[in-house]
Homo-oligomer: A and B are copies of this chain.
């Protein structure tokens, strides 16, 4: 992975995605259990995705976004170089 957090080796984009999930979840006032249930995901797997331990497949994005009350596009806002 070209772009990783040097101390943990976790890909920077996975860290950014985990932080984004956490921010949206706390903004929505939801627990990890509630988001995981709404997204049809196992709670501990959801917690590890949020903690950037695991990545997640694009297949899961619509359900995760819906669980957090945002569109898939909003889920990825602030997540990458704005090249314009």
| A interface residue numbers (CB < 8 A to B) | 1-3, 11, 13-14, 17, 40, 55-59, 61-63, 65-66, 69, 71-77, 79-83
Contacts and interface: CB of A to CB of B under 8 A. Distances in A.
A11 B61 CA distance: 12
A13 to B, nearest CB: 5
A40, A71, A75, A81 — most chain B CB neighbours (10 Å): A71
A59 B14 contact: yes
Contacts of A71: 76, 79-83
A2 B13 CA distance: 28
A62 B2 contact: no
A49 to B, nearest CB: 8
